[in-house]
Amino acid sequence: MKYELRANQLIGAGGVGAIVDIGDESFVVCDTTQWGTPSQDISHPRMEQRLRRRLCPPPAATRESRGAVPLKRFPGSLFCNRPACRRIILRWDEKKHGSPDGKPKCPFCGHEGSLVPMRFVAACRNGHLSDVPWNRWVSHKKDTCYSQPQLKLEVKNSGTGGLEALSIHCLGCNESRHMGSITAQDSMKRIGARCPGHHPWIWDQNASCNEELEVLQRGATNLYYPVTASALSLEAELQDETDFEAIKATGEFGLLQTMYAAVASQGNFLPPHIEQMIEHVATEHNVSTDEIRELLLGGADGPTDPKTNEVAWNEAEVLAEEWSFLKSDQAAHCRREDFVCKESDLPRFRGKSPFDRVLLIERLREVRAFLGFRRIEPSALEVSPEAGGSFAGTRAWLPAVEIFGEGIFLSFDEDWVADWERRLAQYPEEMVRIGALENVRSAESFWFLPAIDARRIAIHTLAHLLMRQLVFESGYSSSALRERIYSGPGMAGLLIYTADGDSEGSLGGLVRQGQPKRLADTILLALDKATWCSADPVCSETAGQGLGGFNKAACHACCLVPETSCTTANTLLDRTLLLGTGGLPGLLGDLV
């Protein structure tokens, strides 16, 4: 059977290791070593240099392509959807249980009922995924029930309708057990089930895994955390390419290489004086410390972690490069194949403006690459797209997509932001609260979130409010818009752009809304709507809400946008820091 998946889906929530539902069937996406040899590359020098990989689009199921993305039916445990049957097949066999149309049919009721996947799966923090051992879940009275299981899913019509209403019944020994405790953290440990140490598409390569199995629903949000990288294709990426050979030819680097080799051969950690010398050489040649470490390892394409073989991606450095270009004179009137923009007049509010630059970007190109995935929690082990396998006869590559669209770039006046931060510092309770959020981020390893401070939260909240308002003004759908937040020392700005991979991303409506008068009206309307939320006073007075409690005055009714539009999973939002309340100064409080 052949099914269709969108390329954008494969570089995100539907990437390698993800469970995808197609109709009433369920599959898992196999690793990239089984996708076939890529027939083309996506050119993005800076990303390729940092990731040390080729960037290639997913194969398309066309006559010209060299392969398709293989899917594995998962979970393998299926049950009949006929209420009179409900029999369970523990492992689906295409040859044994197949049907003419390729869809699973129940062999116990004469193929009258369709087999549908079980609701729960088992996973561990090492990224492994397997079927729940339903046969062990039932305490059988007969030994033959283990070798010849005859299981049935029973549903009670009485009671609360929770998991207690679902039970697994053994027809051989007449034993049954309900699923009320199936999702408990130690449910698999209690029945002696251990992680088989494999991925569903690699049954014959079991490895030892000491992580405990946890049972989750197939569609649970914590079953799959995709790890992606994103960068804009800007003019600066094609200029001033670093001459790594020149760096390696310097005497300073030669001395560093000798010292590094002596320590690395003993398997020790780098002492502070070598770390300081690496930082010195990186500063002298205007490159990152990761690139110098890569040179010391004998490569010149970009940084990787030699111990874990994981790709090292520093999003903060990429955003800093983009910010530097967007603030440069080159960006004021840039016309290139992948980037066309012009500077616009500033929107003014009663004669003043909190911004120092507005760019109307008529055309931009974004490249997104899939780096891997994690399961159960954000700090779990990251699994690469090749899932420990190797590419046959080709250089390692990452699945990627390129997207063309348009956007509006807003840069805050640094004096305006600095003055607001000085006034905000007079409220120590608020500063302590924000500091506590940063402590939680660090302690609980929320790797996908940037460092938290008041500046980022306020700018991020404005980006969300503008996206919600621009949906009504520009003609784009809410999921078609996306944000990039530039926040840090000397950085305060945002980019709202179209992020769809189809023709909708270049209709021109977004750039039109960036004209001075229209932009000023859009900002005022967005701020005015945010002064009151339909969920207030609950929304504005809640101490912490959303993922990890990172949001304060922000909910679905006032600030949240589609998950695909936000770079931080709809977190780090607070209307009070943007608008001000109860004497607390807001970044744009003077405009309301």
Q: What confidence tens digit (pLDDT) does each residue in 440-463 have? A: 888 887 878 888 999 999 999 999
Residue 59 carries which DSSP code? P
> Do 480 and 499 contact (CB within 8 A), yes or no?
yes
Q: What is the pLDDT of residue 178?
A: 85
Distances from the Cα of 214 to the Cαs of 123, 132, 375, in angstroms?
A: 5, 9, 10
Token pair, residue 230, equals: 């994103």
d(CA 124, CA 200): 13
Token pair, residue 269, equals: 């950690």
d(CA 576, CA 573): 9
Token pair, residue 168, equals: 């697994």
d(CA 561, CA 465): 9
Domain assignments of the chain as residue spans, ordered by start:
7-225, 234-309, 407-591
Q: What is the pLDDT of residue 306?
A: 37
Q: In this structure, which amino acid lies at residue 1?
A: M
Classify the C-alpha dihedral 172-175-178-182 as positive or negative. Answer: negative
Q: Which of 13, 147, 21 is nearest to 74 (CA)?
A: 21
Q: What is the pLDDT of residue 303?
A: 40
- Other Cβ atoms closer than 10 A to 238: 13
d(CA 473, CA 231): 27
The model's pTM is 0.80
Query: Got the DSSP string for 409-421?
Result: EEEE-HHHHHHHH
Q: What is the pLDDT of residue 267?
A: 53
d(CA 365, CA 79): 46
Q: What is the pLDDT of residue 258?
A: 80
> Do 362 and 511 contact (CB within 8 A), yes or no?
yes
Task: Lay out the sheet containing 214-217: strands in order across.
Answer: 129-130, 120-123, 214-217
Residue 105 carries which DSSP code? B
d(CA 207, CA 124): 13
Regions of the chain short of the pLDDT cut 70:
1-2, 61-67, 94-102, 111, 140, 158-161, 203-206, 235-245, 264-270, 297-312, 392-394, 500-508
Pairing mode of beta strands 176-178, 166-170: antiparallel
What contacts 24+ positions apart, CB below 8 Å, involve 584-588?
Answer: 584/424, 584/427, 584/430, 585/420, 585/423, 585/424, 586/420, 586/458, 587/354, 587/417, 587/420, 587/458, 587/459, 587/462, 588/354, 588/458, 588/462, 588/523, 588/527
Bridge partners, residue 486, by sequence? 493
Query: Got the DSSP string for 331-354?
Result: GGEEE-SS-EEEEEPPP-BTTB-S
Q: What is the pLDDT of residue 312?
A: 67
Phi/psi of residue 344, nearest 5 degrees: -120, 160
Q: What confidence tens digit (pLDDT) does each residue in 340-392 have? A: 899 999 998 888 899 999 999 999 999 999 999 999 888 888 898 888 777 76
